[in-house]
Structure 1
């Protein structure tokens, strides 16, 4: 612990320390919040907006603590107010939003006390720093909650009375699998539900500018389907930084993938379900698109369009992240090391297996001599501790996971049972 001269010095110094890991703090606070307001953690879109809102509040308070502004004047960040709009559009209760701030205040206060306690040795300075910072925190939170209540009520009134809310209600019933008259639902949505359905999900980071975000998402989806020559589609906002869409008909998904690489707004990513027949296709394709999105969100460098058909296997395998990591470590052994040499060997083995065990084709893809491939395969078998033909399926699965998710699938400190 280090003693700081005054309470003000301590607050500024601690705020600077915490600001360096504000992203990490926001995620941690959001995860702790899940037990108190579980309705905010029902899907990936809501979770992302909770984290964005948490980051906005943490960043605002730390700017006050760093003496850059005062709690009465610090701007309420747009990602904070955007979350109130999302809660209203999802028709979640206002009480849940207020409860999240009560719990969030407690969690942040505990964290802040721990940070001050680690730096301060003098009890009087510690107490004074707590009083000063908590006074500022209370002023800020009173302002935020009052603003969000107003935003929530205004957005709820606008949304509930609007056509978008009625369409969204029909979509939610279809996604739940409710048995409703297809023709009637189709007329309400102006969408042919009897045709084959291909679902898309578009998303982007939340910047708090609701109209700009939704406009960018809708623009990318419209441009994508137009460029690919797909029929008209149904679009429904899912919060403020995601858009759900359905194409009625049978689009060329290869063409969609090609066109996606030329889209503007590079931060917008899209996932596509498979084209599915029948009255349940609307729901099934959407569920596939959401699974593809979850895979894309964990990729080190996801493509602009992730197709469920391309990631269906890995989506099933990676449902339990921790077990997937343990499987990779157990299966690959020393080949799972976080080293350049191990990475090169994994790439060689992955290409070799993709080429059906043909060393000539593998060497051509890897731009290396066939003898080099053969040498590497011998080294790989030595590290695995068994011939490649043994447990080949397990090895392919482990390599598929590492090829998709990168180093996230590798053990930090390999421990091979």
Structure 2
């Protein structure tokens, strides 16, 4: 622990007040820190929604850790935050083949948090001497806290990398990344390094859990069950993060497959060769990103389910305008009306099939459809494609 001079009683009280105010309404600070950190992070990490969510959770944990410490003992030394949550994110950095330069995002978050803390400090006192001491004490506290957090994570990254080097995972990850990035590696060479034949068909999957108790063995078991359901002996897998696994196998998955409890699975298309291996994985990642915006009870989805929505979501501003214009008052109506009309259109405008899919009585479905039609700005007839797409967008992306 470094030598630490305590602040004056008056400044200690000001620091405590500031920390209390920060914790009362942290959303504004969180939003700005999250945006800056994700913007500064490697795209390979932030494009994975599970890791992006872990990074956001780590940002919040660091802010809360420092603020809570300064409520208990204002101006006192705050040791680095090396909680399991923070260390899991560091392990994910190693597993993606990145180095410790990715920790620069912590400095970006520190700078944003410091600017907002200075604004808060100026609202606490107008006395120049108090303000000078307050800023001096908290600057040292914040910078020391971040320095120790980053140093601790860097040490862990080095230990993890030493354990990883020479293992099968390191070679698998390196080769898979070469394929995904379109590097000039031959199919024969890549197959030899992966010990997985790339000449045939491939269906990719992202298998992940959002529960803290989930481990790699649970993910591996789910991936193998998925592969067996598709008629393969087992899946070819790569550890993507502490809570996610990338998998490939040689056949489509039957729609009847039910993932184990707490496991979510995003499936790509089925395609051939090394380019098919890559394309299917990218499709699975796109599906996973959309699943992260849906309730957890949606545990299995394929790219075929979301392809149109994934393409539409690339321009969310125009997509939102399209939904509003197409659905009119239905866009803000009861969710069950939108869901009934969505399923009705998916079932080729059959009320009987929609009723079976929704586990509802046919008359109930007809009543909801009549109410939904009344809320549309134009008749459903002749506009079924546009209305169906708008409803799919709302279903997957939310209101």
Contact 1:57 1:77 in 2 (8 A): no
Contact 1:52 1:206 in 2 (8 A): no
Pairing partner for 1:391 from 383, 389, 399: 383
Partner Cα distance (2:31, 2:44) in 1:
14
Partner Cα distance (1:185, 1:26) in 2:
42
2:87 is matched with 81
1:217 is matched with 219
Q: 1:383 offset after TM fit, Å?
A: 3.7
2:32 is matched with 28
TM-align CA RMSD: 3.3
Pairing partner for 2:314 from 301, 311, 319: 319
Is 2:293 the partner of 1:298? Answer: yes
Partner Cα distance (1:389, 1:292) in 2:
30
2:4 is matched with none
2:173 is matched with 168
Pairing partner for 2:329 from 313, 334, 351: 334
Contact 1:198 1:273 in 2 (8 A): yes
Unaligned runs of 5+ in 2: 1-8
Contact 2:79 2:148 in 1 (8 A): no
Report the secondary structure of 2:87's partner residue.
Answer: helix
After TM superposition, the structure 1 = structure 2 runs for residues 17-416 of structure 1, keeping only pairs within 5 Å, are 17-19=21-23, 25-39=29-43, 43-44=47-48, 45-67=50-72, 71-73=77-79, 75-97=81-103, 99-118=104-123, 120=125, 125-205=130-210, 213-226=215-228, 230-247=232-249, 249-255=250-256, 257-258=257-258, 260=259, 263-264=260-261, 266=262, 268-337=263-332, 339-340=333-334, 343-358=335-350, 366-367=360-361, 369=363, 373=366, 377=370, 380-405=372-397, 408-409=398-399
Partner Cα distance (2:73, 2:218) in 1:
33
Per-residue CA deviations over 1:200-251 (Å, capped at 9, x if unaligned) read 11223485x9xx743443243234445665322211112333211111x225
Report the secondary structure of 2:203's partner residue.
Answer: strand
1:413 is matched with none
Q: Please, which moves more after superposition, 292-301 or 197-206? A: 197-206
Partner Cα distance (1:358, 1:164) in 2:
50
Q: Please, which moves more after superposition, 391-400 or 216-225? A: 216-225
Partner Cα distance (1:68, 1:203) in 2:
39
Report the secondary structure of 1:199's partner residue.
Answer: strand
2:3 is matched with none
The count of residues paired between Structure 1 and Structure 2 equals 387
Contact 1:23 1:55 in 2 (8 A): no
Unaligned runs of 5+ in 1: 410-417
Cα 1:181–1:314 change in 2 (3 A) is same
Instruction: Return the TM-score normalized by structure 2.
Output: 0.82
Partner Cα distance (2:298, 2:172) in 1:
30
Q: Please, which moves more after superposition, 314-323 or 115-124? A: 115-124
Contact 1:60 1:74 in 2 (8 A): no
